Structures are given as C-alpha cells and as structure tokens.
Amino acid sequence: MNQASIQGSWTHSFEEDQGDVQVYRPTHSFAFPPARGRDTLEFGEGGELIKQVPGPDDRPRSLRGNWTALGMNRFRLEGTMDAPGQVIEVVEQTTSVLKIRKI
C-alpha cells in the first residue's frame, strides 16, 4: 500500500460498516442505494482534502482541509469542521473498497 492509492473520492457505504470499521466505496463507480445523507472523503493529489457531509437542510456541504500520511497505514485529516486533527487507520484497501478505523 502506498500513499498514492488513497487518492480519489470515497463515499461512506455505512450499510457495510463492521463495528468500528467504516466501509467506503468509490464515489463515482459504486451503486449506492439511496440514503438521507452520506459522507464523502476526497483525497487530492497534493494533500488537499474535501469532505462532503449532509448539511442542516440535507444538501451535501463541502468542508475543506488537508490530509497527510503518517506511515503505518495511518493518515491525519485536518481542517474540516468536525474532524480537527483526526487520525484514521486504513485497515483494508483495494480499488473497490476503503476500510478505515478512527484512532
């Protein structure tokens, strides 16, 4: 697993969560069933992070921040409103799934 592979847009497929492991799927290729709202994490090439969350009126809202690789499959997500200095651990990743755990 390398740093580049986390890049791209991943959307929370919460129906597949297992305990504290959250399952994300590729935003643009996975057939998500309808939901009241889903979180999306978009990891940019240069370390920029765009997090989409459902807003107070259920429209998706974009929050901007940064991500940095800490090594050991851990990443720091910073600058978004609801996740200041959050660290996640990637527990599994393929081209079709990203499983993470909040540390």
Partner 1 sequence: MAIKNLSKQKKDCGRKEDYSMPGSAKTMEIGNEQSEEAHTMPGENMSNEDISGMPSGGMGSGNMSGDKGNELSSGMPGGNMSGDKSSMEGDKGDEASSGMPGGNMSGDGDGGGDDGGGTPRSRSCATMDVHRQLLSRYPFYARARDEIENLAYQYAINPEVVQRPGVTRIPIVVHVVWNTPQQNISDTQINSQIDVLNRDFRRTNPDVNNTPAPFLPLTADARIEFFLANVDPNGAPSTGIDRRQTTVTSFSHDDAVKSQSTGGADAWPADRYLNIWVCQLGGGLLGYAQFPGGPVTTDGVVILHSAFGTTGTASPPFHLGRTATHEIGHWLNLNHIWGDDGTGCSGTDNVADTPNQAGSNTGTPIFPHVSCNNGPNGDMFMNYMDYVDDPAMLMFTAGQVTRMQACLDGPRSLIGIEAGAPRQSSSPVVAWGANRLDVFVLGSDRALYHKWWNGSAWGPSVTGYEAMGGVCTSSPQVVAWGPNRLDVFVIGTDSALYHKWWNGSAWGPSVTGYEAMGGVCLGDPRVVSWGPNRLDVFVIGTDRALYHKWWNGSAWGPSVTGYERMGGVCIGQPEVVAWGPNRLDVFVIGTDRALYHKWWDGSAWGPSLTGYERLGGVCMSAPRAVAWEANRLDVFVVGTDGALYHKWWDGSAWGPSLNGFERMGGICVGQPEVVAWGPNRLDVFVIGTDSALYHKWWNGSAWGPSLTGYEAMGGICTSMPRVTAWGPNRLDVFVTGTDSALYHKWWNGSAWGPSVTGYEAMGGVISSF
**53 or 97: whose CB is closer to partner 1?**
53
Does position 9 bind partner 1 by CB under 8 A?
no
Element (H, E) at 100: strand 98-102
Strand partners, 74: 71, 89
In the bound complex, which residue of the shown chain has the CB atom lying closest to Zn ion? 58
Does position 63 bind partner 1 by CB under 8 A?
yes
Tell me, residue by residue from 25 to 54, as one string, x for binding to partner 1 by CB under 8 A and - for no binding. -------xxxxxxx--------------xx
Q: Return left, alpha or beta for 77; rule: phi > 0 is left, psi -120 to 50 is alpha, else beta.
A: beta
Does position 58 bind Zn ion by CB under 5 A?
yes
Cα-Cα-Cα-Cα torsion 52, 33, 86, 49, nearest 10 degrees, comes to -40
Both structure tokens of 44: 């940019």
> Which residues contact partner 1 by CB under 8 A?
14-15, 32-38, 53-61, 63, 81-83
List interacting residues with Zn ion (CB under 5 A).
58
